[in-house]
């Protein structure tokens, strides 16, 4: 689970009753989000402030675009149009896929997000809940695929950085950061709370979601710790008068590593006896894989007995 | 507060008073008082002999430096309708031909107003308008709204693709033309030879009115009070904003651009007051955005003890457009445990301000207050 850094008190709700959001996209030039519902276009800010600026009309479906802009797919022509930076409205004068019309079965929908990279001439399509197909915009040929096994369609496919997209699942809140260019694969997995619509904020690398309760939630791209493993010796045999390597791993709710957290090490005595030996360091920082490492020195007077190691992380 | 509001003249016009006590029951068409049309207009509490039925044209007339509205009225007197030309000062919105209109001397005839609509100024300070009776766009007289004999005209229905427009801006200097049916601004070029539709802009909502600014720009007001500026030669949207306090009682908005003072004028057609008094109003705006609200600061980095934390907020107008340049001041509210590294910050083009906060090494709760002073016009 990613760390939630903000939850709004304001409610970002469509103006008309019975309306609901079905797409959200981060717009880098606004530093805000374009939200589309059945009947309106709005600009939503991170604190949940919503400003309606237009009324949607049929024929245009939103999809993600390289560099963090929205694009619009026209279901009648199969063309994808960019959006104006000023107001996010579709610009029918430009076409991003002049060589290949994206047919009805490949186009985006409310449930299934799509993504277009017109700089590298690539289109991402989700044929099922566990895979993304990569198409060449020049000729419509399939170039490759990403197996992500999320088990749910990504409602949004949003740009992260050159060659990377984030997929966000509405029902489970699962998140996959994927490479679609150099070697298509899943780079990072995580989770946010289930949402109505969500987007990836590529300015500050955040996940931004509007929940079914209309609250805005902001998650930073760092896993929030859920579990610290019991310390283990590596190698397992412990000797006195020797620096024995010991480590503990800090992970999030889904086993994702939590880097850069301080782990506090402490020796406890057993059955009223004082602790034996000592640590090299009292605190150590977790590495990229979530491991915190330390050295344990056994007692230097050949005394034998038992001692306990306690590893702690202070969250708040 | 949307576009930078200069002033509002409300109401900017009046209807002719009945001049006697209003009727308690709606008078019949033929009654003891003679022929009375639209009897509901003078049934208590209403006591005016006119009401706005439609605003045929609203434009800035540079020759006389006036704002002109051709308004079709429903009346109680014969023949149940009237068409008057209302002239307002472009300087302060005062009603210049009040006596004339209230004496029904500014009558322009039905044909100009009924068959011509949505005129706006175009090239060479002339007024051009679409027509209800034909597909052509013609130069019209600002006085009567009737086509000028021997005046310039084009017929988009003869172009490819055949088009019919309700609103148009005419740029004869560059042979450009932009027209709107309801949702899309079609941009044409090469008017002198074979006209070519080279671009389209989709509106965010159905159109209220279209106005010419210059050889490059035109202004759009939508039915719900959104204001947009477009470059119709590229074509490209240049700006999005709104009128001040868009109200539900607005029947429609009409926009024009005062090319002398470089400002936008909006005519808001509002529902009559309960007593039937006119509430139509003129609003003057500078074409720049006024700050409307400051969003809450939101942390955008991990909230951990000892970290340098970045918080972002936005200063925006009523359509969410960023407002710059302003300085936003931040202040931590007592009790303060950390340190605000950025005591003030300037807005970026999208209205964003960022603040840095140094968190202490222990858990704490902190409140950041932001404030900005925006000079009032």
pLDDT band at A10 (very low <50, low <70, confident <90, very high): very high
A interface with B, Cβ–Cβ < 8 A, is: 3, 5-6, 8, 10, 29-32, 41-43, 45-49, 51, 53-55, 57, 84, 86-87, 89-93, 201, 203-204, 206, 218, 220, 222, 314, 316
pLDDT, position B376: 63
Question: Inter-chain contact B319–A10, Cβ cutoff 8 Å?
Answer: no
pLDDT tops 70 at residue B31:
yes
Question: Inter-chain contact A204–B200, Cβ cutoff 8 Å?
Answer: no
The alpha-carbon gap from B139 to the nearest alpha carbon of chain A, in Å, equals 29
In a domain, B273, yes or no: yes
Q: Cβ contacts (< 8 Å) between A91 and chain B: which residues?
A: 201, 236
| Same-domain status, B175 and B189 | yes
pLDDT, position B363: 87
Question: Inter-chain contact B316–A45, Cβ cutoff 8 Å?
Answer: yes
The model's pLDDT over B11-29, given as tens digits with 9 standing for 90+, comes to: 999 999 998 889 999 998 9
The model's pLDDT over B262-310, given as tens digits with 9 standing for 90+, comes to: 999 999 999 999 999 999 999 999 988 888 899 999 999 999 888 899 9
Question: Inter-chain contact A6–B298, Cβ cutoff 8 Å?
Answer: yes
In a domain, B377, yes or no: no
Using DSSP, state whether B201 is helix, strand or coil. Answer: strand
Question: Inter-chain contact A31–B350, Cβ cutoff 8 Å?
Answer: yes
CA–CA distance, A94 with A97 (Å, rounded to integer)? 9
User: Alpha carbon A310 to chain centroid distance?
Assistant: 32
CB-hemisphere CA count at 13 Å for B133?
A: 10
Residue A58 structure tokens: 């049929």
The model's pLDDT over A201-246, given as tens digits with 9 standing for 90+, comes to: 999 999 999 999 999 999 999 999 999 999 999 888 888 778 899 9
Q: Chain A residue closest to B197 (CA)?
A: A93
| Same-domain status, B326 and B307 | yes
Question: Inter-chain contact B350–A32, Cβ cutoff 8 Å?
Answer: yes
| Same-domain status, B276 and B344 | no
Residue B106 structure tokens: 């500014």
Q: Cβ contacts (< 8 Å) between A47 and chain B: which residues?
A: 295-298, 313
Q: Residue A63: which residues within 8 A CB-CB, separation 6 or more?
A: A70, A71, A72, A73, A80, A108, A113, A114, A115, A116, A157
In a domain, B76, yes or no: yes
| B102 sits in which H/E element | helix B98-102
| A296 sits in which H/E element | strand A291-297
| Same-domain status, B285 and B297 | no
Mutate to test the interface with B, among A16, A55, A262, A316 (most CBs of B within 10 A): A55
Q: Residue B12: which residues within 8 A CB-CB, separation 6 or more?
A: B88, B93, B95, B267, B280, B281, B282
pLDDT, position B1: 40
Percent of chain B with pLDDT over 70: 99
| Same-domain status, B145 and B277 | yes
Q: Is the distance from CB of B68 to CB of B56 less than 8 angstroms? A: no
Using DSSP, state whether A104 is helix, strand or coil. Answer: helix
In a domain, B48, yes or no: yes
| CA triple A296-A300-A304, angle to 5 deg | 85
In a domain, B229, yes or no: yes
Q: Cβ contacts (< 8 Å) between B298 and chain A: which residues?
A: 5-6, 46-47, 218
Q: Chain A residue closest to B183 (CA)?
A: A57
Q: State the residue range of the domain holding B337.
A: 293-372
Final residue before a domain boundary, out of B262, B289, B316? B289
| Same-domain status, B143 and B207 | yes
Q: Chain A residue closest to B239 (CA)?
A: A86
Closest by CA to B119, choosing from B159, B95, B146, B83, is B146
Question: Inter-chain contact A87–B237, Cβ cutoff 8 Å?
Answer: yes
Percent of chain B with pLDDT over 90: 74
Mutate to test the interface with B, among A51, A216, A286 (most CBs of B within 10 A): A51
pLDDT tops 50 at residue B185:
yes
The CATH code belonging to domain A226-313 is 2.60.40.10
For residue B18, what is the domain's CATH number? Answer: 2.120.10
**Average pLDDT, integer, range B82-109:** 93
Final residue before a domain boundary, out of B252, B274, B289? B289
| Same-domain status, B144 and B87 | yes
Question: Tokens 């369609």 — which residue?
Answer: A153
Radius of gyration of chain A (CA): 25
| Same-domain status, B174 and B314 | no
| Same-domain status, B248 and B336 | no
CA–CA distance, B96 with A66 (Å, rounded to integer)? 56
**Average pLDDT, integer, range B200-216:** 92
Q: Chain B residue closest to A43 (CA)?
A: B320
Query: How is chain B split among helix, strand and coil, in percent rounded to 5?
Result: 5, 45, 45
Q: Cβ contacts (< 8 Å) between A45 and chain B: which residues?
A: 295, 314, 316, 320
pLDDT, position B112: 83
In a domain, B171, yes or no: yes
**Backbone φ and ψ of B102, nearest 5°:** -70, -20
Q: Chain A residue closest to B228 (CA)?
A: A87
What's the structural domain count of chain B? Answer: 2
Closest partner residue to B239 (CB to CB) among A86, A220, A222 is A86
Q: What is the pTM of this model?
A: 0.86
Size of interface A-B (CB pairs under 8 A): 112
Question: Inter-chain contact B204–A8, Cβ cutoff 8 Å?
Answer: no
pLDDT, position B245: 85
Q: Cβ contacts (< 8 Å) between A51 and chain B: which residues?
A: 316, 318-320
**Average pLDDT, integer, range A252-263:** 90
Neighbours of B295 (CB within 10 A): 24
Question: Inter-chain contact B350–A5, Cβ cutoff 8 Å?
Answer: no
Percent of chain A with pLDDT over 90: 73
| Same-domain status, B141 and B58 | yes
Q: Cβ contacts (< 8 Å) between B240 and chain A: which residues?
A: 53, 86-87
The model's pLDDT over B134-165, given as tens digits with 9 standing for 90+, comes to: 999 999 999 999 999 999 999 999 998 999 99
In a domain, B7, yes or no: yes
pLDDT, position A278: 87
The model's pLDDT over A266-315, given as tens digits with 9 standing for 90+, comes to: 999 888 888 888 899 999 999 999 999 999 998 877 777 888 999 999 88
| Same-domain status, B247 and B317 | no
Where exactly does CATH 2.60.40.10 map onto chain A?
226-313
For residue B325, whether the previous peptide bond is cis, meaning omega lies within 30 degrees of 0, is yes
Closest partner residue to B238 (CB to CB) among A43, A86, A218 is A86
B interface with A, Cβ–Cβ < 8 A, is: 183, 198-206, 224, 226, 228, 235-240, 293, 295-303, 305, 310, 312-314, 316, 318-320, 322, 348-352, 363
Q: Chain B residue closest to A4 (CA)?
A: B302
Q: Cβ contacts (< 8 Å) between B237 and chain A: which residues?
A: 84, 86-87, 89
Q: Is the distance from CB of A116 to CB of A123 less than 8 angstroms? A: yes
| Same-domain status, B177 and B161 | yes
Closest partner residue to B183 (CB to CB) among A57, A87, A93 is A57
Final residue before a domain boundary, out of B268, B289, B310? B289
Percent of chain A with pLDDT over 70: 100
Residue B361 structure tokens: 């090494």
- The torsion of the CA quartet B180, B184, B188, B191, rounded to 10 degrees, works out to -20
Which burial class, exposed, middle or buried, applies to B193 when counting CB atoms under 10 A from its CB (0-12, 13-18, 19+)? exposed
In a domain, B321, yes or no: yes
Query: Mean pLDDT of all residues in chain B?
Result: 91
Closest by CA to B251, choosing from B72, B113, B126, B377, is B72
pLDDT band at A85 (very low <50, low <70, confident <90, very high): confident
Superfamily of domain A2-222 in CATH is: TolB, C-terminal domain (2.120.10.30)
Question: Inter-chain contact B202–A89, Cβ cutoff 8 Å?
Answer: yes
């Amino acid at each position: 689970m990613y760390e939630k850094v903000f939850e709004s008190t304001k409610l970002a709700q469509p103006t008309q009753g019975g309306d609901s959001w079905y797409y959200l996209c981060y717009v880098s030039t606004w530093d805000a989000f374009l939200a589309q519902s059945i009947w309106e276009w709005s600009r939503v800010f991170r604190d949940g402030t919503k400003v309606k600026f237009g009324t949607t009309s049929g024929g245009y479906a939103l999809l993600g675009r390289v560099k963090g802009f929205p694009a619009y797919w026209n279901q009648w022509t199969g063309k994808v149009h960019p959006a104006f930076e000023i107001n996010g409205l579709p610009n029918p004068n430009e076409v991003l896929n002049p060589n290949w019309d994206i047919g009805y079965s490949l186009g985006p929908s409310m449930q299934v997000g799509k993504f277009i990279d017109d700089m590298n001439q690539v289109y991402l399509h989700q044929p099922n809940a566990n895979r993304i197909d990569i198409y060449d915009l020049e000729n419509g040929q399939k170039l490759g695929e990403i197996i992500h096994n999320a088990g749910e369609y990504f409602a949004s496919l949003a740009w992260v950085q050159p060659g990377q997209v984030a997929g966000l699942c509405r029902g489970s809140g699962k998140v996959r950061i994927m490479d679609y260019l150099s070697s298509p694969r899943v780079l990072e997995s995580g989770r946010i709370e289930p949402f109505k619509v969500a987007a990836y904020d590529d300015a500050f690398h955040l996940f931004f979601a509007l929940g079914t309760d209309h609250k805005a939630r902001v998650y930073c791209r760092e896993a929030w710790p859920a579990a610290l493993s019991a310390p283990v010796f590596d190698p397992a045999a412990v000797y006195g008068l020797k620096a024995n390597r010991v480590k503990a791993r800090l992970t999030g709710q889904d086993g994702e590593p939590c880097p850069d957290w301080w782990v506090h090490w402490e020796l406890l005595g057993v059955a009223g006896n004082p602790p034996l030996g000592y640590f090299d360091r009292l605190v150590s920082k977790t590495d990229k894989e979530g491991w915190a490492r330390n050295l344990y020195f056994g007692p230097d007077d050949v005394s034998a007995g038992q001692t306990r190691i306690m590893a702690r992380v202070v969250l708040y | 507060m949307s576009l930078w509001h200069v002033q509002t003249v409300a109401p900017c016009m009046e209807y002719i008073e009945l001049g006697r006590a209003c009727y308690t029951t709606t008078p019949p068409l033929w009654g003891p008082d003679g022929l009375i049309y639209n009897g509901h207009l003078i049934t208590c509490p209403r006591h005016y002999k006119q009401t706005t039925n439609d605003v045929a044209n609203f434009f800035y007339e540079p020759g006389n430096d006036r704002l002109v509205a051709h308004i079709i009225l429903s009346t109680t007197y014969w023949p149940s309708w009237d068409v008057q030309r209302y002239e307002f000062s472009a300087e302060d919105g005062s009603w210049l031909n009040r006596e004339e209109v209230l004496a029904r001397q500014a009558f322009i005839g039905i044909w100009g107003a009924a068959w011509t609509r949505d005129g706006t100024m175009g090239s060479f300070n002339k007024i051009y308008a679409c027509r209800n009776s034909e597909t052509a766009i013609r130069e019209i007289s600002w006085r009567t709204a009737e086509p000028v004999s021997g005046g310039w005209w084009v017929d988009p229905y003869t172009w490819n693709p055949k088009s019919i427009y309700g609103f148009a801006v005419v740029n004869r200097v560059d042979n450009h033309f932009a027209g709107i049916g309801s949702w899309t601004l079609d941009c044409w070029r090469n008017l002198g030879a074979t006209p070519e539709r080279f671009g389209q802009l989709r509106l965010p909502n159905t159109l209220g009115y279209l106005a010419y600014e210059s050889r490059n720009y035109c202004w759009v007001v939508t039915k719900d009070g959104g204001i947009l500026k477009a470059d119709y030669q590229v074509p490209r949207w240049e700006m999005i904003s709104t009128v001040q306090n868009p109200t539900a009682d607005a029947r429609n908005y009409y926009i024009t651009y005062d090319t002398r003072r470089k400002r936008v004028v909006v005519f808001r057609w509002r529902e009559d007051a309960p007593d039937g008094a006119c509430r139509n109003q003129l609003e003057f705006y500078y074409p720049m955005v006024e700050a409307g609200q400051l969003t809450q600061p939101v942390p955008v980095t991990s909230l951990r003890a000892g970290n340098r934390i970045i918080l972002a907020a936005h200063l925006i107008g009523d359509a969410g457009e960023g407002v710059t340049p302003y300085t936003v001041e931040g202040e931590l509210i007592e009790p303060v445990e950390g340190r605000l590294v950025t005591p003030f910050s300037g807005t970026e083009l999208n209205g964003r301000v960022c603040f840095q906060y140094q968190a202490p090494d222990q858990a704490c709760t902190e409140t950041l207050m932001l404030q900005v002073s925006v000079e009032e016009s």
